[in-house]
A and B are shown apart, each in its own frame.
Chain A
Amino acid sequence: NAGVTQTPKFRVLKTGQSMTLLCAQDMNHEYMYWYRQDPGMGLRLIHYSVGEGTTAKGEVPDGYNVSRLKKQNFLLGLESAAPSQTSVYFCASSSPPLGYGYTFGSGTRLTVV
């Protein structure tokens, strides 16, 4: 059982380049989330989705876009990367009620130079 899989695991981008981070879950969860983790800042929510075809903004959505075309996949896009987007990105999934909490992926470490 794979759980939540994130690709790629590492990436270096130049300022202004674009990329897409892929998150895939095989647990039939309704909800999916993208967080970024920065030193001293904890985890901050970027965008989330409560079902196929739906997305919503989180705490720090600027500079990112997302899509949830299939229930099992949640894509995070950076259209024009900036050094401030250097971070570790985590995807998670869940189904309400939160008795079992979130299942997290292992993260994508992104460096923008």
Chain B
Amino acid sequence: GNSVTQMEGPVTLSEEAFLTINCTYTATGYPSLFWYVQYPGEGLQLLLKATKADDKGSNKGFEATYRKETTSFHLEKGSVQVSDSAVYFCALSDRGGNTPLVFGKGTRLSVIA
């Protein structure tokens, strides 16, 4: 079945540091890939997505590229801020969105000033 593996957290960075959160997946066919963010006390929000190989999703300074050859969708940001402190989830679904999202276990990011 489909699955998502994320790097273990927590990740602690200083403000303006470079962020990478690794995500790899196992899926049949050509899934769509997502990153969601959960701020403290809130539900998950869609951060970015990519629906086919070599697509790059981007939002709020975050980027992730759909790499079919390495089955990866790593999240990156060049300069993190304290306000980026949250839990980040990688997820996948089939191309048409007809099967429920499968989530990774989440990676907690703490950014200190």
Q: Mark B92-111, 1 if CB is under 8 A from A, else 0.
A: 01011110111111100000
| Contact among A48, A105, A106 with B100 in the assembled complex (CB-CB below 8 Å) | A48
Task: For residue B94, give the distance in angstroms from its CB to the closest CB of chain A.
Answer: 9
Q: Does A98 contact B (CB under 8 A)?
A: yes
B100:A40 contact, CB within 8 angstroms: no
Chain B: CB-nearest residue to A94: B97
A101:B46 contact, CB within 8 angstroms: yes
Q: Does B36 contact A (CB under 8 A)?
A: yes
A14, B100: Cα distance in complex, Å: 31
A107:B105 contact, CB within 8 angstroms: no
A83, B41: Cα distance in complex, Å: 22
Q: Mark B63-106, 1 if CB is under 8 A from A, else 0.
A: 00000000000000000000000000100010111101111111
Q: What DSSP secondary structure best describes chain B's contact surface? A: loop
- Size class of B's contact patch? 20 to 34
Interface size on A, residues (CB 8 A): 26
| Contact among B42, B45, B103 with A43 in the assembled complex (CB-CB below 8 Å) | B103
Q: Does B44 contact A (CB under 8 A)?
A: yes
Chain B: CB-nearest residue to A91: B43
A58, B101: Cα distance in complex, Å: 11
A92, B45: Cα distance in complex, Å: 10
Q: Does B34 contact A (CB under 8 A)?
A: yes
Task: For residue A110, give the distance in angstroms from its CB to the closest CB of chain B.
Answer: 15
Q: Does B24 contact A (CB under 8 A)?
A: no
B100:A101 contact, CB within 8 angstroms: no
19 new A-B contacts, CB < 8 A, other than A42-B103, A45-B102, are A42-B105, A43-B106, A48-B100, A50-B98, A94-B97, A96-B97, A96-B98, A97-B95, A97-B96, A97-B97, A98-B96, A98-B101, A101-B34, A101-B46, A101-B49, A102-B44, A102-B46, A105-B43, A106-B43
What is B's interface to A at a CB cutoff of 8 Å?
32, 34, 36, 41-46, 49, 51, 89, 93, 95-98, 100-106
Q: Which 4 A-B pairs have the closest CB atoms?
A: A98-B97, A104-B43, A101-B46, A42-B105
